[in-house]
Amino acid sequence: MSAMNILAVMSLFLVLDSQIVASLTCFNCDGHGHPFPACLAAPITCHPGEVCSVVYGSGQPVMKCMKELDCSRIVSNSLGACAGGGVKIQHDRCELCCHTSDCVDDVVLHIQQTIDPGLYCPGPCSRFDLSTCTTSGTQCLAGQFCRVTVNDHYVIHGQCLNIHEHQKCIEDQAKHPCLNVDGHGGNCVLDCCQTASCFEQHFGTNTNNAVATGPSCPGTCFTEDG
């Protein structure tokens, strides 16, 4: 093999090696259809010239690939440094522009450590299969509560909301209580849970036999015979 061919092969290896090193793993966490931490199950790879933008703090984290210049422009208006990395872009929200997968791993770990392990919020699940309520949901973050609603198709849905919305949830529950979910009347608010015991009150520890009842649910929310 000629010296020129050897140099060409070495150059190719260097290019491939740099691409491997430069690959950046991120996640598509939008706080709605892809909430944290469920969104961590589907990592994505950012394109060249992009960073992994991570917004965290009060409310659901938002993670996505973003052009480096756009992310740099946002964090240039800093309100101060954040303990988990990055800078404050609002008084209760931080943003970090990660250039490496290690950076992403570190901030994800920091976010996970702020989660209240006792506050689980059920995902969309059927009143006829309450066991799925404990497997299809998400973990709320510190400073959040779980708003639990039931629609006229007997589907239970939990949503993690910021604590400042708790009073409105209570008011909505008073206006639209789950007195008798008979398939009519639209959505009702089952509860505005702030603790794990609130979740257990409605779904029990054995969710296969759980019945949603309790002080926060006047009348009969669900009955075993449908």
The answer to whether 199 and 140 are in contact (CB under 8 A) is no
Neighbouring C-beta atoms of residue 137, cutoff 10 Å:
24
Distance CA 222, CA 156 (A): 11
- The rounded Cα 98 to chain-centroid distance in angstroms is 19
Which tens digit of pLDDT belongs to each residue from 194-215? 888 888 888 765 433 333 333 3
Spell out a b/e string for 101-119, using b for 16 or more CB atoms within 10 Å of the CB, else e: bebbebbbebbeeebbeeb
2-6, 13-17, 37-41, 115-119, range with the lowest pLDDT: 13-17
Distance CA 80, CA 192 (A): 33
Which tens digit of pLDDT belongs to each residue from 130-147? 878 877 788 887 778 899
Rg (CA), the chain: 23
In this predicted structure, the answer to whether residue 5 has a pLDDT above a threshold of 80 is no
**Per-range mean pLDDT, top range of 137-141, 150-154, 166-170:** 166-170
In this predicted structure, the answer to whether residue 85 has a pLDDT above a threshold of 70 is yes
Encoded tokens for 178 = 């789950």
**Per-range mean pLDDT, top range of 72-76, 158-162, 180-184, 216-220:** 72-76
Phi, psi dihedrals of residue 79, rounded to the nearest 5°: -105, 10
Q: Report the percent of the chain where pLDDT is more than 90.
A: 38
Round to the nearest angstrom and report the end-to-end CA distance of the chain: 79
Neighbouring C-beta atoms of residue 165, cutoff 10 Å:
15
- For residues 74 and 12, the model is more confident at 74
The answer to whether 52 and 100 are in contact (CB under 8 A) is no
Encoded tokens for 31 = 């706080």
Encoded tokens for 16 = 């491939």
